[in-house]
Amino acid sequence: MAVWFPALVQAGNGVPTAAPRLSFTADEMRLAEQVAADPGLADFYGTNGLKPIFTGAQGAPRRAALIAAVGQAAAHGLPPGRYRPAVLRRLHREGVDTMAKEARFARAFADWSRDVSGGILEPQRVEPGIKRKVQRPRTGDLLRAFAAAADPAAMLDGLPPQDRRYAALRAALARQSRLDAPPDAPPVPQGVWREGIDDPAVAALRRRLEAIGFAAPPLDHAQSFDAPLARAVAAYQQAAGLPADGIAGARTVARLNRGAGPEAAAILVALERMRWMRGHDLNARHVWVNLPEFNVRIHENGQEVFQTRVVIGKAAADFETPEFSEAMQYMVVNPRWNVPRSITVREYLPRLQANRHAVGHLDVVDGAGNVIPRDRIDFRQYSAKTFPYRMRQKPSDDNALGQVKFMFPNPWNIYLHDTPTKHLFNQSSRAYSHGCIRVGRPFDLAHELLKGQVESPQAVFAKALESGRETYLNLRPPVPVHLVYFTAFPDETGQIRRFPDIYGRDARIHAALVRTALESGAADE
């Protein structure tokens, strides 16, 4: 009877890729056993005939490239211990090639390539408000590309997101790591410390700055605040985003003493979130709604071409705006508002039961869309579960959706729309809706979206608006829409801006990242 290694004869879909083997060498059996638990590794080694790629004649440069790559784990906000770099370095130095060595490097490659390209967490398991499905690459495909690469290091360099904003977040993490003093650095006493002061607190200030890489030239009298120390303080302030006046006042001292703060946590989460965007071309034209920023932007060729304020869902379980990506296919000018059933039965039905003429701006319609006179309905006989009608608002200036809505069909019925309630855009925190996204300058957004497909976007939109009729304007081609949630994100200049964690999602993601790091082990095996 033939001896079979399943991945050797199947390519994931059961299609034979090789003739059955009558026997395996002892090394091949050991390798098969080592990688069998990982479907991606089993797929790769099965389809390549169980030939090693990390040992043998070509193994050394591949091992060296992988060791160098995982050595950058912390710079990507990933836990270094997860990839066991010390174990990899020890095995690399050993002259004996074994299948255990091959399997160890293969597992490290699988973990690293998955994590750095598509993220370490499964977002939907961590946070129910995230509906995004991460488009992770197949491990077997990555291993095949790695084995075929003339330059293994270059192949690994191409795995992380190549977006400039990811690079800016990495640079910010490096700066933040430098600014966050080690726990054993002495704290600086509170006060206002400036040039000319002689005080023991100045010596503590010197030591604290030196611990984080902002050392002033050594001075015999360390507690004297001299000009070089003032320059060191100013350099630190500039790096920390504080006024660079060279005076260690209350804000500077507090920042120095804080150590690792919320900025580092927010950047770690932002890096993970950028990895979740794998598979989306962020240089192509797209709509970007960063929920904590209360803002919508259009990007084209990697540049921002439009932005305006938005109002998003309330910070309550049933109203939070979810995160996902879909394609905007059309806009509706002069839209009817089909009231969501949740709003109908929770908010309007109790009012109708008290007064059938309540919410008179809305029509009550049956399943066929026919308007039903209210005096024919006994609203009191229905509960939220049994109410058989829908509610709808005709197109008008006072319509809850305003005069235009922007549709990217999705299971959660989320869309962007105009609103008659304009005053909310003057608020700094704008989480007031039932989940959909209200747009501050909807007509300008419509004009920008229509550019390139009609000669005069303003004229086309105005004609539809002036008709007073519900009018559909298709977008050709559809425009990707990304509803994202970044509490730390670079602006157009590369500077990191901070936004409130309005839904508490980043706190939960950061906690999950910390748990993953702890489970990985702080130290190598």
User: DSSP string of 462-483?
Assistant: HHHHHT-S-EEEEEEEEEEEEE
Q: At what angle do helices 39-47 and 139-148 cross, to 10 degrees?
A: 40
- Mutual angle of helices 442-450 and 457-466, in 10-degree steps: 130
Residue 109: name the closest of 145, 143, 74 by CA. Answer: 143
Residue 26 token pair? 């002892």
Among candidate residues 436, 447, 482, 510, the one labeled active-site is 436
510 is catalytic: no
The tokens describing 160, both together, are 């992380």
The DSSP code sequence of 485-512 is --SEEE-TTS-EEE---TTSHHHHHHHH
Q: Which of 393-417 are b and which e, b meaning 16 or more Cβ less than 10 Å from the residue's Cβ?
A: bebeeebbbbbbbbbbebeeebbbb
Strands 324-333 and 404-407: antiparallel
The burial of 1, by beta-carbon neighbours within 10 Å (0-12 exposed, 13-18 middle, 19 or more buried), is given as exposed
CB 8 within 8 A of CB 47: yes
Structure tokens at 196: 């000319």
Please indicate whether residue 417 is annotated as part of the active site. Answer: yes
Set 76, 286, 299, 417: catalytic member: 417
Inter-residue contact 393 to 362 (CB < 8 Å) = yes
Helix (H) or strand (E) holding 210: helix 200-211
* Residue whose tokens read 């950058």: 72
Its sign, for the CA torsion 458, 312, 168, 211, is positive
Furthest-apart CA atoms within the chain: distance in Å: 94
Structure tokens at 47: 């389809």
Which residues sit opposite 474 in a β-bridge? 330
Give one DSSP letter per residue of 116-180, joined into a string: HHH-SS-HHHH-TTB-PPP-PPPHHHHHHHHHH-SSHHHHHHTSS---HHHHHHHHHHHHHHHHS
Q: Provide the residue type at 84 as one letter.
A: R
Helix (H, G, I), strand (E, B) or coil at 411: coil
Closest-CA residue to 192 (of 119, 247, 271, 257): 247
Residue 149 in contact with residue 155, Cβ under 8 Å?
Answer: yes
Q: 476: closest CA among 439, 449, 456, 458? A: 449
**End-to-end Cα separation, the chain, in angstroms:** 41
The residues annotated as belonging to the active site are 417, 436
